[in-house]
Chain A
Amino acid sequence: MQPSLPPESTDAPVTLASCVAEVSDIFARAFHILGGWRDLIVSAGPVQAAELDALVERLVVPALRGTPRAMTPDPASLMTGAGFIAAPQFVTGREFHFAWWLGPLAGTPLLGTTTAPSRLDLAARVNTEFLRDFRELEWYQVPEATARTHVTGPYVDHLCTFDYVITLTMPVRVGEEMVGVVGADVSVKSLEQVLLPHFLALASPVALVNASGRVVTSTEPSLPPGDVLPNGRHPLADYVQVPCPGTPFLLAMRVRAAPH
């Protein structure tokens, strides 16, 4: 983990608003990357599986090689997995097609350790139930239902990375039809490395929470990642919450004394 550097020293002071803007900016740029992938997949038109896989690999694997650096947040460097998941029958004759790559893995129970990006090999996996069900999973189902980008999590990915992640997905549409989603997993750890220096520059504790109040990153020690705001120790009245535009996240700042 990088030491937390102070935000650019000579620039404007860090405020709640500037922290909110930072969160929005990171997700906007991550979705911008996904948008680029989407456009190239759409413009490739109907393709065979091998062609599609080669295209997606070329697009996403460079993103999975980076390492996050505080204060210079290349959103691609936060990604631990990325790819394209085709809708049924988009790839000729295939009910399902996952073109998904994973970044290096450290000692995961099912997939072991890898040092370079590797393809998620669902064909080799014994479980087909997951394949049958993926259209009901939040990261696929919401973009399909709303035709909009979606952010899932944070949650423990218990299938691949065994990490605490946030999943970004964007529908890939041809006309009125969704032909799949492009997506990326962002590890909470990487996101923290980028956001924490900003949050620490604020005088009051803040917590970045999702729409359910689930904490992503926080400078309030009694409200760690994974906890939910409000809870028994943290009533809602103790916080002001500011939405981060373009994301489902809110930045909650404590405005009353710390809990006892």
Chain B
Amino acid sequence: MEPQLRPGAREAIFAQLDEAGRAEQVARRLTDAIILGVLTPGERLPSEQELARRFGVALITVRDALVMLRDAALVETRRGREGGSFVIQTDAPHGTLLQSRLRGLAQVELSDLFVYFSTILEGCAERAALRASPADADRLRGWLHTAPGSGAAGARATAGGFLLELAVLSQSPRLVREHIRLQAEFGPLLLLALGDPQARDRVAAGNREIAAAIARGEPLAARTLVADQARELSEWLLAAKTRTERGGPLYAAVATA
């Protein structure tokens, strides 16, 4: 089944890139999206021209990136009228790729990433609680109820979309832009914990509490709850990194990603 995602989560995959190592960045962005199920098996990627336009890079850069993805057996390219680059159908989990991505980032980088992520989210939540109208608060809670998808990919889409809504409710275009850039670059990693069913339940419960605090107009409560959640995601990721560095599995108990 095609996961039903809010615009932000999927659009963010294709957000524009920084200058350095652009082909690697394109490949990494798409790899993250594929291994975490944001782009689904069998799905056709936008055309090379369209990818170049969306990422703001040269066509040759996109082609180099697609070569990397083909070498990693993540996409296949078909010729002809119905051709294009397709996400490969595979039953094998992408655990190895995820582990190498996680090992490629230093602990100090990961924890700093969460300091930044948490700071932005706390600001969003506090402002949202100050500024959300009752109708806004209803929509936020409704979004948690109607947000589709089960399993890890669905939970990531829900959480990513919920956090984007928080930014939107802050009424700050800058916070929205920053939030989207951050989710684009690191979103899949930031939400990696959601592959763990227990963490998933805690995050879902946490999101309901955050929405309730915003509905009650309690900025400090909203800020604290969001910070708690960011800390939980951060600690989960650092624990997973420690596990994989020791040669253990990404997910401690049952792997569901």
Contacts and interface: CB of A to CB of B under 8 A. Distances in A.
Given A127-B5, A163-B173, A213-B133, A110 B11 contact: yes
A191 B9 CA distance: 31
Interface in A23-69: none
A227 B133 CA distance: 10
Interface string A218-260: 0000000111100100000000000000000000000000000
B6 A129 contact: yes
Contacts of B171: 154-156, 164, 214, 225-226
A82 to B, nearest CB: 19
B6 A112 contact: no
A112 B171 CA distance: 21
A4 interface: no
Contacts of B8: 158
Interface in B163-178: 164, 167-168, 170-173, 176-177
Contacts of A159: 7, 11
A6 interface: no
B162 interface: no
A206 B176 CA distance: 27
A19 B190 CA distance: 48
B46 A109 contact: no
Which secondary structure characterizes the binding site on chain B? helix
Interface in B3-32: 4-8, 10-16
Contacts, number: 83
A159 B10 CA distance: 11
Interface residues of B, number: 34
Contacts of B10: 126-127
Which secondary structure characterizes the binding site on chain A? loop
A108 B184 CA distance: 13
Nearest to B175: A156
B253 interface: no
Nearest to A213: B133
A124 interface: yes
Contact of B131 (A129, A158, A226): A226
Given A129-B4, A156-B173, A156-B176, A112 B46 contact: no
Contacts of B12: 109-110
A162 B177 contact: yes
B176 A228 contact: no
Contact of B11 (A125, A163, A226, A231): A125
A62 to B, nearest CB: 25
Given A112-B56, A126-B13, A227 B131 contact: yes
Interface residues of A, number: 26
A130 B14 CA distance: 16
Given A110-B14, A124-B50, A156 B168 contact: yes
A81 to B, nearest CB: 14
A129 B16 contact: no
B215 to A, nearest CB: 14
Contacts of A162: 173, 176-177, 180
Given A129-B4, A156-B171, A164-B173, A109 B184 contact: yes
B16 A156 contact: no
A18 interface: no
A112 B57 CA distance: 11
A162 B173 CA distance: 6
Interface in B38-91: 46, 50, 53-54, 56
B63 to A, nearest CB: 18
B164 A158 contact: yes
B16 A109 contact: yes
B254 interface: no
A103 to B, nearest CB: 15
17 contacts: A126-B11, A126-B13, A126-B46, A127-B5, A127-B11, A156-B172, A158-B167, A158-B176, A162-B173, A162-B176, A162-B180, A213-B133, A226-B131, A226-B170, A226-B172, A228-B130, A228-B133
Given A109-B12, A109-B177, 8 more contacts: A110-B11, A110-B180, A129-B4, A129-B5, A158-B7, A159-B11, A214-B171, A227-B131
